[in-house]
Amino acid sequence: MPGMIDKLCNTIAECLGGSGKEAGFTVWPSPVFNPIEAEMYLAKYFYERFYESVKKLEKEGYCKADIARMLKAPSRIAQTTWPMSSIKLASLNKEQRINLVLGIMDFISFYRKDVFCEKKKNLLYSEPGLERVFNEIKVVDLQKEDNSEEFKRELSKLNAALFSFTELLYFAIHAVGHEFHGPYNIGKNEIMVVREFYDLKPDFWPFTSPLPFDSIKIWAVYNSKTNMEFDFFNRIRSSTPVSENLRKFSIKLNGRLLSEAGKIKEVTREIEASLKKGIPEIAKLEKTALMKKYVEAYFFILKPLQDKLGKDWRPPLQLYEEIESNSRKKLWQEISKALQKSKKLPLEEFKKKTATIFDPR
Amino acid sequence: MRRRESEGILNGTPASPGVAKGKVRIILGFESLNKMNHGDILVTKFTNPLFTPAILMASAVVTDEGGTLCHAAIVSRELGIPCVVGTQKATKILSDNEEIVVDGEKGEIERCQA
């Protein structure tokens, strides 16, 4: 199993290198603060809680598969590895750290065989599962629709608005609010990509409460020439136009199928309204207040485990106090300097160094 | 092969394919989002979700920083509009209202002749 940890560290390094070496400096919550700074504060408490809650649940008789199911989706689980560069701040010994990280890989493997998305795919449906889905959903075939261009425009706008919304709520770990999976080869020169968005109304963002839905699922069928690649953290890369290659789609909102362009427009308007309400509120937040929200987004991942144990899901008070007192200021200054320096390294050297930093052993 | 800056070309990383022509709108922060008009080309240092209302109005996006997995790149690909990221200096050398052509496949920004 130690091979899995090496593979994980290399995957994280590969993902960071592939995003551009300035990644941490340009992802939301930047420019307010670098996510790595917040992860230095939360890593200790987050990993301690993760380890303890898994152990307690196992003691209560829940197996790995049960816990994986509680954690909802593989890419959401993968987000828990981002703060690993600070995992040694947690009161866990080496064996416990290894145990936790291997457990995380186990939870992901419950959902997908290719844990690290090495084939640049995120395949969650089995073959019979794919067939079952096709029987359940009612697809809109754009080749049979007069207003196919309007459908394409509306669907792409909805996807863009939803993606931005999840990033607004969950920052750099936006996959806490979505699971994109596929591409599934479905024959007839077609591929299918599924975009699932959920937990769109987390209680740590009260501005989302008027939103009339909490989840939405979009099945999109494209011409097979559409190139879409998925990584471990659920980011999609594509070198071909996506929306213009759309052939068929289906949307399920709060469990109900939608098939009219007007209805899709309505959903986009709801998301835009929520964005317009939330953006000014969030833009007003100062660094400390925004960092508290960032750590809440992380602890929200563990909420189902805490709920099952009958405990409060919110971060411990000490974590809020440490953020308020800026207790890791000096350490962050040192790390920030080192990060600036590492940006200048050749890509391969950068990846090698990054893999070492994330190693929990 | 990359064309040179002396030919009026600014280079960056291709992030979303397509070609668009429009007026430059430089937005450096959330406060100036209301400068944006439908069809403008959003030029900024890098985007985050606070920029969403502006991106939804843009015909193309150009940024100084970021890679192919940054917010601007992902949202532009979903919208099907051209995007060039990591130009390093677009916000410094372009000006509001000047007309440019953005080629998201080649990663080029070209000034239109006056």
Contact between A172 and A35 under an 8 Å Cβ cutoff? The reply is yes
Positive or negative CA dihedral for A114, A17, A236, A280?
A: positive
Tens digits of per-residue pLDDT, A289-308?
999 999 999 999 999 999 99
Instruction: Categorize the per-residue pLDDT at A354 as very low, low, confident or very high, splitting at 50, 70 and 90.
Output: confident
- Residues of chain B positioned with their CB less than 8 A from the CB of A279: 30, 49-50, 52-53
Residue A342: CB atoms within 10 Å: 14
- Sequence-separated (6 or more) residues with CB below 8 Å from residue B11: B2, B3, B5, B87, B107, B108, B109
A285 CB near a chain B CB, below 8 Å? no
- Residues of chain B positioned with their CB less than 8 A from the CB of A237: 68-69
What is the rounded distance in angstroms from the CA atom of residue B28 to the CA atom of residue B44?
6
* Min Cα–Cα distance to chain A from B25, Å: 20
The reply to whether residue A275 touches residue B77, judged by beta carbons under 8 angstroms, is no
Chain B interface, Cβ < 8 Å to A: 13, 17-18, 30, 46, 48-50, 52-53, 55-56, 65-71, 74-75, 77-80, 86
Instruction: Categorize the per-residue pLDDT at B68 as very low, low, confident or very high, splitting at 50, 70 and 90.
Output: confident
- Sequence-separated (6 or more) residues with CB below 8 Å from residue A228: A182, A183, A191, A193, A222, A236, A237, A238, A242
The reply to whether residue B18 touches residue A241, judged by beta carbons under 8 angstroms, is yes
Nearest residue in A to B55, CA atom: A160
- Residues of chain B positioned with their CB less than 8 A from the CB of A281: none
- List the single residue in A18, A29, A275 with the smallest CB-CB distance to B69: A18
Tens digits of per-residue pLDDT, A171-204?
999 999 999 999 999 988 999 999 999 999 999 9
B83 or B70: which leads in pLDDT? B83
Considering only residues 213 to 232 of chain A, which have any Cβ-Cβ distance to chain B shorter than 8 Å?
231
pLDDT of residue B66: 87
Tens digits of per-residue pLDDT, B4-26?
666 668 999 999 999 999 999 99
Model ipTM value: 0.88
- Residues of chain B positioned with their CB less than 8 A from the CB of A19: 67-70
Contact between A122 and A230 under an 8 Å Cβ cutoff? The reply is yes
The pTM of the full predicted model, rounded to 2 decimals, is 0.93
- List the single residue in A20, A28, A159 with the smallest CB-CB distance to B49: A28
Active site residue B71: yes
Tens digits of per-residue pLDDT, A237-259?
888 888 889 999 999 998 888 87
Interface contacts (A, B; CB < 8 Å): 100
What six digits make up the tokens of A69?
């199911």
> Which residue in the list B51, B71, B94, B110 is annotated as catalytic?
B71
What is the rounded distance in angstroms from the CA atom of residue B31 to the CA atom of residue B48?
14
E strand or H helix at B41, and its extent? strand B41-44
Contact between A85 and A101 under an 8 Å Cβ cutoff? The reply is no
